[in-house]
Structure 1
Amino acid sequence: EAWSSDFESRVSGVNIEGFGIAFIQNGNKLMVAYTKDGEPLDKAKVGELMKNGLTQEKLAKIQKVLASAVEPLLAEYKAKNQEFGQAQKKLAESQPQSAPPPEQKKAAGYVKMLTQFAASNYQIFMGKIDSASEDEGGIKDAPGQSPMDADDFFEASVLSSNRGEKGAPVVWVKNPTLDKVFGKADDNRRTMIIPGVGLVKGGAPGGPTLIGGAIQQAEGGFLVMDFMDVLRAPGLYQALMSAAKTGEASMVESGLQGLMSGKGEAYHVPSKVKIVMIGSPSLRMMVERQDADFALNFQASADFESTLKVSEESVAGYVQFFKKAVMSLARELKQEATNLTQDAMSALVEQGARMAESNRKLTAQFGALYSVVREATYWAHEAGRTEVRREDVDTAMQTRQDRDEVYRQHMLQTYKDNVFVVETTGKKVGQINGLAVMGSFGVPMRITVVPSAAAGSGEIISVDRQAGPSQTGSSFNKALGIVEGFLQNLFAQKRPFPARLSISYEQNYGGIDGDSATSTEIYSILSALSGVAIGQNFAVTGSADQFGNVQAIGGVNHKIEGFYELCKARGLTGDQGIVIPQANVADLQLSAEVVQAVKDGKFHIYAVSHISQGLEILTGVAYSEILSKARANLSAMGKPEAKSKN
């Protein structure tokens, strides 16, 4: 570098009345050019100088002087060039030799084969090949086919191009198929007409055309698909597992058809792509159990939160989402720009909290929210308005409920007609109203307990479980064990529990599972053992542990609203209500009608944290008194609580 810098300065220092020299490298040759004021000297420039007074004699003298300056510089350049070449050769010889990588060998082999083919069949570059040619050498067109040219042999298949893009590509594939993701190979076979034979498929002169898919477009980046869509697409899941394992994306002639028939030739393309599949955790766990390769190939997972904490930031994000949604929908409906009133935004945020079943969180399922915004926007445009109001959101939600109304009203009518017997007034011993969720609404269920003296140690008998092993689930069966543990802890510390308790979920004609009625069963058992009646104007939900602590359950809003609907249909008495776990208070996001009924004192919601609190609300009797009566009755059955002598 030092010599080059010095050499260039000496070359540029040659100056005879503004004339100089320049060395120009042209491949392996070094050319010398004359310059005038630093610009190349061509015939036009010389002619212009002659017009301005430069004589031929003077130009010849200048050229002679410049030539004498060039000779030593040129000799020096050649000597240095030879010296540098030898030094570079020695340096290369001193470096350890490494074998070329397989890809380089393949590429070199392909180029060699390509040049040999081109040399042997030079005539394809001389125009279209005529099938009637007399020349017997090289490749000739087959009879019946259109003439071939060089493009048929040497046209390259561009699998993907990210030219102009920045960063790693992210390719999202909707409704993926094997061909859409992996591409396919078109065999390019052409139909020939051969006299006396007919139509015949001929081989393509340049081989198959490879048509790239999404996995080639995502090379070096990310390929994103819906997991369920992948599983539904024939052959796609297996192909993805193979690509993840081998690092090669296989393209098959005729795509899925060639793969299924086993006749399509496969072409393997090296692939470095991160495959991202979006699906539910349950779907992932199911596939992991069925396919060990899945867990091996997909070792990283990220679970998205289904809810957002209510905060200034999350509510602001909600509002922005709603605004963009109504603007997008207005364009889709070809309507004027639509705005959201504050009341409408409040109603949508409330709906987000209701979907999350919480008054402290908002749902992150924006697809479900978008459908609500869509319907509300529709009703606003139907009313001839360019703004969405709360009434439009309410209409959207009401119409959704109306679509389920036939079944819901049918169920409600069966309760009103006492087809399903559930009492909402009066008091009963050993009978209580439990709650369940069917679809999107809650329904009450009558639970009864009948106690009797046991011949030996007592037990709890579930009529539903005895009906068959498929009638009750594991959570339900575990809940019965918890109830038994609670009773043992309360009444059988010194003597065996002497009662046989028969529990029945009346008019249950299907399977039953879950532990949300654990506290309900305990209430009805203590009522049956003590003889203290439970108010039928109440319904109860809540899990519990063996110490009587009431625990959270799911679907609390649907359960409350379901019992409220039944009480309203029969006539609200002002003392009806529901007992829920204290832990579910944060989940309350009730309809405006139920909220108003509670405010007006027509309906009541009681939150409890222990069995003792709930039982006193249900019976109006002190918990200690109920236990005392229960012990007395149990003593009469088998005296399990006889006093020990001091």
Structure 2
Amino acid sequence: MLLKASESEFFFDLLKQSVKTNLANSDLGYSYYFSDNKITLSKAKSKQDNFAVQDSCLSATVVDMEKLFGCVRQPENNPIKLQAGLVHHANGGVLILGLRSLLAQPIVWTKLKQMVVSQTFEWFSADDSHPLPLSIPTMPLDLRIILVGDRLSLAELQEFEPEFYSSSIYAEFESELSITDSQQFNAWMNYLQFISHQLALPKIAKSAFATIYKQATRYTGDQYYLPLSIEWIQSLLLNSSYFIENGEIDASAVCKAFEQKTWRENYLTERFHDEFFTNQIVIDTKTQVVGQINGLSVIEYPGYPKAIGEPTRLSCLVHFGDGELIDIERKTDLAGNIHSKGMMIMQAFIMSEFAINHQLPFSTSLVFEQSYNEIDGDSASLAGMCALISALSNQPIDQQLAVTGSVDQFGHVQSIGGVNEKIEGFFAVCQHQGLTGQQGVIIPASNQRHLSLSDEVIDAISSDKFSIWTVEHVADALYLLTGIPYKDENNISLYKLIHARMQSILMQDRKHEGWLSRWKKIAKSTNTQ
């Protein structure tokens, strides 16, 4: 059986307990006897025999050749000794093994597979240059294997032995639980109480679950999914247990545990924010600028356990040209494929809106200011499109707002990842520069279910010092950013301003072409005479 799950000792213990409840007691196994330089095999009479079965289900996250198959020992001037391995101790039952360890030892995996399929254990020498000193009878083997690994390990196994998937049972231990009603939430609370009991920790107080729920949804990134991850729950309960005051894991203990966790992990985030606080990275949160917008992204550092929200200044300039959108990041090989795709989608929207009957009479350049590493993802395409339309219409964007979201070719806003980190990153900069009450973040409407913000941000929103707006179309975001509707038949609109500017450029171009054409005709006539 292939099981996609965590390779942790605690999970293996829980899985072993679950498997054993559905297994009947296996036979006692076998025993080897030594007599006159001859080894014979017989049925075991008790669990004290050298190759008797120890349990109906055994597990190991890490194995090697000796731990799994045992070995033949021949001490100097002493008789041969046979040492049993896990396959012997679990014979007739189930053996749970970590897949990562097996994949690192292809010979061990190959031998295990061969023995399980043939249902026979054959003794072998670990060193081919030193064969076994004497013949050892083979042992009947009746064993079922559960291989546990993450997605990467399973993919590696599939590449290594693609035919193995067709003959094995595949299953997944769900990492998240979808919450659609109170019964499922109650089941999740009972699950946490079960884990706490298994860890020999105090009971979780009912008052703690509201705090746990908030951190749980932040971990999953969705208000309607709660984690089943053994490691996350184990870490939560163990860390909270150090702050118990009344014999239970209550809300206070959970809050203190997360405060300590945040403090321990926050050094790199604080150093990163200092770059904004000291104006080493420039972010404007108070004025209005044409063709400039605050975008939002997240940075993930290798070896750092969490993502950091990063405000990014995007700027756009318009000049006379042939309709080209110059993505400076792409031109300098600092853009990934998904980013380039987002920019192309943005260009397609502009072309479909304004270049139906004629070519655009201008070109634009778009850049992420103070970006020195490769960027990827399409979450800045909404911000880029708003900056572009601002530059085309010559209307300023309110720098008190930041924008995140991807768009399609029709201007519909689509969800993005890391929404909480992005909001908190911009809030930190606004807070340092001084909250005006008009600052906030524009996010896709479909990301509303992913919100699980820090208490600091929630308090600022509650006191009307900071805001979050959700939008479904680029037109919604443009109205919030500029105060002018994108399209309006009866009043001034961004679309009309852009269209009027285009017509003005085209008319000037035609006048220029007309004057040039007349001059060429006069010059040609003079040459003919």
TM-score (norm 2): 0.78
**Does structure 2 retain, via aligned residues, the 8 Å contact 1:245–1:297?**
no
2: CA distance between counterparts of 1:178 and 1:308? 38
**Does structure 2 retain, via aligned residues, the 8 Å contact 1:491–1:641?**
no
Question: In structure 1, what is the equivalent of residue 310 of structure 2?
Answer: 443
**Partner residue of 2:262 out of 392, 401, 415:** 401
Tell me by how many angstroms 1:171 deviates.
3.0
Give the direction of change, closer, same or farther, for the CA distance of 1:321–1:527 in structure 2 (3 Å limit). Answer: same
Question: In structure 1, what is the equivalent of residue 95 of structure 2?
Answer: 223
Give the direction of change, closer, same or farther, for the CA distance of 1:499–1:569 in structure 2 (3 Å limit). Answer: same
Question: In structure 2, what is the equivalent of residue 280 of structure 1?
Answer: 150
2: CA distance between counterparts of 1:316 and 1:566? 39
Give the direction of change, closer, same or farther, for the CA distance of 1:641–1:575 in structure 2 (3 Å limit). Answer: farther
Q: Deviations over 1:251-306 (max 9, x none)?
A: 432xxxx25x65455987665544332223244234434x2446556654323433
**Partner residue of 2:350 out of 487, 491, 497:** 487
Larger relative contact order (CA 8 Å, sep ≥ 6): 2
Q: How does 1:538-617 map to 2 (within 5 A)?
A: 538-617=401-480
Q: Deviations over 1:521-540 (max 9, x none)?
A: 11111111111111111111
Does structure 1 residue 315 correspond to structure 2 residue 202? no
AA in 2 matched with 1:323:
Q
Question: In structure 1, what is the equivalent of residue 28 of structure 2?
Answer: none
Q: Deviations over 1:29-82 (max 9, x none)?
A: xxxxxxxxxxxxxxxxxxxxxxxxxxxxxxxxxxxxxxxxxxxxxxxxxxxxxx
AA in 2 matched with 1:356:
T
Q: Deviations over 1:408-460 (max 9, x none)?
A: 11111110111111111111111111111223331111111122222x4x222
**Partner residue of 1:427 out of 257, 276, 288:** 288
**Partner residue of 1:417 out of 278, 282, 299:** 278
Give the direction of change, closer, same or farther, for the CA distance of 1:599–1:160 in structure 2 (3 Å limit). Answer: farther
SS at match of 1:379: coil
AA in 1 matched with 2:289:
K
Q: How does 1:105-124 map to 2 (within 5 A)?
A: none
Does structure 1 residue 525 correspond to structure 2 residue 388? yes
2: CA distance between counterparts of 1:237 and 1:633? 70
**Does structure 1 retain, via aligned residues, the 8 Å contact 2:70–2:86?**
no
**Partner residue of 1:189 out of 49, 58, 74:** 74
SS at match of 1:623: coil
Give the direction of change, closer, same or farther, for the CA distance of 1:263–1:620 in structure 2 (3 Å limit). Answer: farther
**Does structure 1 retain, via aligned residues, the 8 Å contact 2:103–2:157?**
no
**Partner residue of 2:319 out of 452, 455, 463:** 452
Q: How does 1:50-199 map to 2 (within 5 A)?
A: 153-154=39-40, 161-162=52-53, 169-181=56-68, 183-186=69-72, 188-189=73-74, 191-192=76-77
Tell me by how many angstroms 1:604 deviates.
0.5
**Partner residue of 1:628 out of 471, 496, 501:** 496
Tell me by how many angstroms 1:402 deviates.
0.9
Give the direction of change, closer, same or farther, for the CA distance of 1:326–1:280 in structure 2 (3 Å limit). Answer: closer
1: CA distance between counterparts of 2:96 and 2:52? 18
AA in 1 matched with 2:212:
L
Tell me by how many angstroms 1:239 deviates.
3.6
2: CA distance between counterparts of 1:244 and 1:503? 61
Does structure 1 residue 302 correspond to structure 2 residue 188? no
SS at match of 2:452: coil
Give the direction of change, closer, same or farther, for the CA distance of 1:210–1:394 in structure 2 (3 Å limit). Answer: same
AA in 1 matched with 2:498:
A
Question: In structure 2, what is the equivalent of residue 51 of structure 1?
Answer: none
AA in 2 matched with 1:617:
L
**Does structure 2 retain, via aligned residues, the 8 Å contact 1:356–1:363?**
yes
**Partner residue of 1:345 out of 209, 223, 234:** 209
Question: In structure 2, what is the equivalent of residue 363 of structure 1?
Answer: 227
AA in 2 matched with 1:409:
E
Identity percentage over the alignment?
26
Give the direction of change, closer, same or farther, for the CA distance of 1:636–1:434 in structure 2 (3 Å limit). Answer: same
Question: In structure 1, what is the equivalent of residue 328 of structure 2?
Answer: 463
AA in 2 matched with 1:631:
H
Q: Deviations over 1:441-496 (max 9, x none)?
A: 31111111122222x4x22222122222xx32221121122112211211122222
**Partner residue of 2:86 out of 192, 214, 233:** 214
Q: Deviations over 1:159-206 (max 9, x none)?
A: 85448x7xxx4432232222222x1331x43534xxxxxxxxx8x6xx
Give RMSD over aligned pairs: 3.2
**Does structure 2 retain, via aligned residues, the 8 Å contact 1:495–1:640?**
no
**Does structure 1 retain, via aligned residues, the 8 Å contact 2:296–2:380?**
yes
Q: Deviations over 1:218-242 (max 9, x none)?
A: 4455432222233345743444455
1: CA distance between counterparts of 2:109 and 2:507? 66
SS at match of 1:275: strand
AA in 1 matched with 2:406:
S
Give the direction of change, closer, same or farther, for the CA distance of 1:279–1:622 in structure 2 (3 Å limit). Answer: same
SS at match of 2:223: coil
Give the direction of change, closer, same or farther, for the CA distance of 1:241–1:346 in structure 2 (3 Å limit). Answer: same
**Does structure 2 retain, via aligned residues, the 8 Å contact 1:176–1:233?**
no
Q: Deviations over 1:119-154 (max 9, x none)?
A: xxxxxxxxxxxxxxxxxxxxxxxxxxxxx9669754
SS at match of 1:412: helix
Size of the aligned set, in residue pairs, is: 459
Give the direction of change, closer, same or farther, for the CA distance of 1:568–1:428 in structure 2 (3 Å limit). Answer: same
SS at match of 2:174: coil
SS at match of 1:504: strand
**Does structure 1 retain, via aligned residues, the 8 Å contact 2:320–2:362?**
yes
2: CA distance between counterparts of 1:527 and 1:388? 53
**Does structure 2 retain, via aligned residues, the 8 Å contact 1:541–1:580?**
yes
AA in 1 matched with 2:177:
L
Give the direction of change, closer, same or farther, for the CA distance of 1:251–1:492 in structure 2 (3 Å limit). Answer: farther
Give the direction of change, closer, same or farther, for the CA distance of 1:398–1:640 in structure 2 (3 Å limit). Answer: farther
2: CA distance between counterparts of 1:534 and 1:309? 40
AA in 1 matched with 2:102:
V
Higher Cα Rg, which structure: 1
**Does structure 2 retain, via aligned residues, the 8 Å contact 1:177–1:236?**
yes
Give the direction of change, closer, same or farther, for the CA distance of 1:404–1:638 in structure 2 (3 Å limit). Answer: farther
Give the direction of change, closer, same or farther, for the CA distance of 1:629–1:296 in structure 2 (3 Å limit). Answer: same
Question: In structure 1, what is the equivalent of residue 237 of structure 2?
Answer: 373
